[in-house]
Structure 1
Amino acid sequence: MKIKISNKIQFLAYRLATSHNTFYFYTNFYSMLQFFRKLLRKKTGGKASFNIEETDPMKKFLIVGLGNIGSEYENTRHNIGFKILDFFAKKEELTFKTDKLGDLTTYKFKGRTFIFLKPSTYMNLSGKAVRYWMTKEKIPIENILIITDDLNLEFGTIRVKTKGSDGGHNGLKSVQALLNTTKYPRFRFGISAEFGKGRQVNYVLGEWTTEENDQLPERLEKSVELIKSFGTAGVSNTMNAFNGK
């Protein structure tokens, strides 16, 4: 909701700024407060609110990178969701702050608001953080994007889907259970499946190889472009432009 500044309030602001008399200073200041109270009551149906400008829910996006908290997981394949958001934040000079159920930061781009979330619930309970922030920020389900690792894709392959199973991924399993649907956008980042029988856990919680580390920067740049496209061009155009590339 945007409030247009009237001639009256501009005049009062001028009187306030140029007043050298204490009595007139407080009189003008009180008049400004009274004016804003009346205006806010009119705009909010009788209830004053300090949220003068609201973001259109359809222009707000929740981008969730799945991962585990703790330095021991920082460079593991399973934490690619965190890594992509950290790379994005560093590139755009954003700072994550710890809040309820996760670390968050906000990015403004082409009239859109992107809320980046790294859940602090550990992977298997990621859905709690997703549901909480979706509800709190009033973000429609089609405007969330869950970033996760995928064993079924070759290393660095990226793929966006609007629905599907959890594919055996515990983070997605939690998200789908808490949202009570399999229809939500997800961004899968391929980590390959180069492990022997019974070694899957060690593999996904293992660190990138030297060769993979050398290729990661370009793949992370591509991931940043994908996220921006998701919010500005829409999921269908983003799928066409990025899937399998």
Structure 2
Amino acid sequence: MGAIVFRIAIIIGLTELVIMLALSAIPHRMHGETMSGLQAALVSLLNPFLLILIASPIIYAWVVKPYVVERDAAQAEITHLAHVDPLTQLANRRLVDQHLQVALAQCTRHGHRGALIVLDLNGFKPINDQHGHDAGDALLAAVGTRLRTCLRTEDVVGRLGGDEFAVVVGHLDADPDQAIAKARCIAEKLIREISLPVEYGGRSLQVGASLGIALLEAVDTGVEAV
């Protein structure tokens, strides 16, 4: 706040200086001993409120606009950190819950089925213990990228914590048998992608995955029930 006030003071001071220089450039004796109309107009501009009004475009461009841009960027960063897992850049548990609520509402509104797929990595702990946390983090980040790239744009994948991930799949099918069959196809694709080796530090790291599928369909089903 102090920096903002300082900038405004500088702008107003410079505006006042320009007006004073303009006054000094006008001969004092114009039309006899009386002050010229131009001089009177310039003197009237030295009113503090008029100075602020005159300087307002510069104040906006140099003070207000940068502050607004910086504030909006900071707010966007806070929102991002509140909803995104920093390691994998996937949705965190909070954001997954929000998308799950939306998916349930859409299933109720349109009468179709979706699915929630929850995955746990198999064999992650030995890799983390033997090769270190950096290797484990690299593996989790690689898994997150693979999950994100093999899903539809409207589906949401998130990291719930540790080596647990969740995928919210929207519209699958109105028929429950068809919906669960499509969800299983997606789950099999996810397992294949997860099982591919990850190269790190000259070593090949590999994990598997176990998963569960919950169909999103019931009108009275809540996030907690799923």
With the shorter chain as reference, the TM-score category is under 0.3
Larger Rg: 2
TM-score w.r.t. structure 1 length? 0.26
Please identify which structure carries the higher helix content.
2
Higher RCO (C-alpha under 8 Å, 6+ residues apart): 2
